[in-house]
Amino acid sequence: MRLHTYAIIDSSDQVDEPIYGLEGARVYNVPYCDMGAIVSELGAGSIQDIAEQGILAHEDVTEKLMERFTVLPVRFNTIYDGTEGVLAMMQSYYRDFRDNLDRLSNKVEFGIKVIWPSDRIRESIVNARKKSDKKTTVPTDSPNRKFMRDKFEQYRLSEELENRADKFINIMDMFFSKFAAEKKLKKLRTEDLLLDAVYLVEKDKQGDFKEAFEHIKSAHAGFKFLFSGPWPPYNFVDLTKNTDSLEDSPQRDLFDILIQDRELVGTDKI
Amino acid sequence: MTISGVVETDFPEEFVGQMQKSNDVLPKRIDANPQNVDRGLAKLVLTLIDLIRKLLEKQAMRRVEAGSLSEEEIERLGETLMKLENRMEELKQIFGLEDEDLNLNLGPLGDLM
């Protein structure tokens, strides 16, 4: 029997509330010591056939569990061969799971993405340069020297853009970090995507965190913001043990997962 | 089915576009099969060559910035880097590759360039 795994929780008790997962199957706990793996039984069909509803059902189960337990979300499409397969995985990862459950207890994840007006900022840097470089223009450059000069201008521009990006990110992060236990930041994943960050926030600080976001948002006219959460702590589960069974379980922002397939979540629904 | 986590933004299309863009530049694997093995290999080799070229270029710019190059050295470096760039353009055209094709996903290390 194939078991689809949703999350590891900090309880070995059965789930009282009926929760239904993939293919409408009721989920249950496979207990191991003081924790458990939440699974549901899968039919014989391919999981690709149910991917669209499946990802949302998977997330729905994880969020319902999050209300009552500390959860370590498991990647969609993580399937084990029967209870024995699940228990073998639990045995193998017990210490890691225990450490993560303790660390992530009572915490949730929020995502923040920021698009900055990179064209406008680039233009302002170029204009400032033009003013200050007027006196130093040398009209008699050879093609080789002109090439070097153009390259050097591009280099200075990209360095200056990076500096400005760092400054904006530092200011924003200073506010968000006040209410966060942990964070992961990615700078300039594209030219326009200034910041792609996830923050781990204690449940009783969610309001403060949101308030800090609103403050930053209102202070940055011309920037575009996306705020998401609370999510299970997808990006903060750190497994030190490395085996094939969980090798392909990178934690990712739910937003990233959803937009992998645009048909899955129409943008009007976001 | 309801999802309680919310996604709040006034610009959903733009964020979807940006996230797709950031994922699209990261091919998961070198695309090599009997029909296009030349292109797949060329993509890998040119990606590595272009990485080295960009590193050289950046190092040269740092030296220009530091003022540690003589006029003659700047002239010579300019010629070398320009020829390298032109040659890369020719090779990309031969194998039908664009700038955004020259990248590799290094897993947890992120993208190569």
| CATH number for the domain that contains residue A219 | 3.30.70
Tell me, yes or no, whether A101 and A129 share the same domain.
Answer: no
Position A58 scores a pLDDT of: 93
> Is A112 a residue whose pLDDT tops 60?
yes
Domain count of chain A?
A: 2
Assess if residue B64 is contained within a domain: yes
Does A153 contact chain B (CB < 8 Å)? no
**From A146, which residue of chain B is nearest by alpha-carbon distance?**
B78
Residue linked to tokens 């781990």:
A200
ipTM for the predicted complex comes to 0.72
Tell me, yes or no, whether A49 and A135 share the same domain.
Answer: no
> Is A254 a residue whose pLDDT tops 60?
no
- Helices assigned H by DSSP within A200-269: 206-219, 244-247, 254-259
Residue linked to tokens 């309880």:
A11
Tell me which residue in A56, A63, A115 faces B14 most closely, judged by beta carbons: A115
In the predicted model, what is the mean pLDDT of chain A?
85
Tell me, yes or no, whether A126 and A199 share the same domain.
Answer: yes
Euclidean distance between the first and final Cα of chain B, in Å?
40
Could you tell me the residue range of the domain that residue B71 belongs to? 35-101
Tell me, yes or no, whether A61 and A149 share the same domain.
Answer: no
Residue linked to tokens 């506010």:
A175
Could you tell me the residue range of the domain that residue A143 belongs to? 109-231
Which residues in B lie closer than 8 A to residue A146 (C-beta atoms)?
Answer: 78
Assess if residue A236 is contained within a domain: no
The whole-angstrom separation of Cα B11 and Cα B38 is 41
A15-59: pLDDT as tens digits: 888 999 998 999 999 999 999 999 999 887 666 666 778 888 999
The verdict on pTM exceeding 0.90 is: no
Percentage of chain A beyond pLDDT 90 is 66
A56-85: pLDDT as tens digits: 899 999 999 998 999 999 989 899 999 999
Tell me, yes or no, whether A62 and A129 share the same domain.
Answer: no
Detail the DSSP E strand segments found in chain A.
2-9, 28-32, 35-41, 71-73, 79-81, 107-115, 182-187, 193-202, 224-231
Assess if residue A226 is contained within a domain: yes
A113-166: pLDDT as tens digits: 999 999 999 999 988 887 776 655 545 678 889 999 999 989 999 999 999 999
Assess if residue A54 is contained within a domain: yes
Q: Which of A152-166, A186-200, A238-252, B49-63 has the lowest mean pLDDT?
A: A238-252
**From B57, which residue of chain A is nearest by alpha-carbon distance?**
A151
Average pLDDT over residues B83-101: 88
Which has more pLDDT, A70 or A240? A70
Tell me, yes or no, whether A28 and A78 share the same domain.
Answer: yes
Assess if residue A58 is contained within a domain: yes
Tell me, yes or no, whether A73 and A126 share the same domain.
Answer: no
Q: Which of A7-11, A202-206, A241-245, B11-15 has the lowest mean pLDDT?
A: A241-245
CB contact under 8 A, B7 and A270: yes
Position B29 scores a pLDDT of: 56
Q: A199 falls in which pLDDT band (50, 70, 90)?
A: very high
Assess if residue A205 is contained within a domain: yes
Classify the C-alpha dihedral A52-A53-A59-A62 as positive or negative.
Answer: negative
The whole-angstrom separation of Cα A263 and Cα A255 is 14
Position B107 scores a pLDDT of: 52
Position B104 scores a pLDDT of: 64
Does A170 contact chain B (CB < 8 Å)? no
Position B34 scores a pLDDT of: 66
Tell me, yes or no, whether A203 and A151 share the same domain.
Answer: yes
B111 pairs with which residues across the strands? B105
Tell me which residue in B20, B65, B75 faces A259 most closely, judged by beta carbons: B20
Assess if residue B74 is contained within a domain: yes
Provide the b/e sequence for B50-72 (b: ≥16 CB within 10 Å).
beebeeebeebbeebeeeebeee
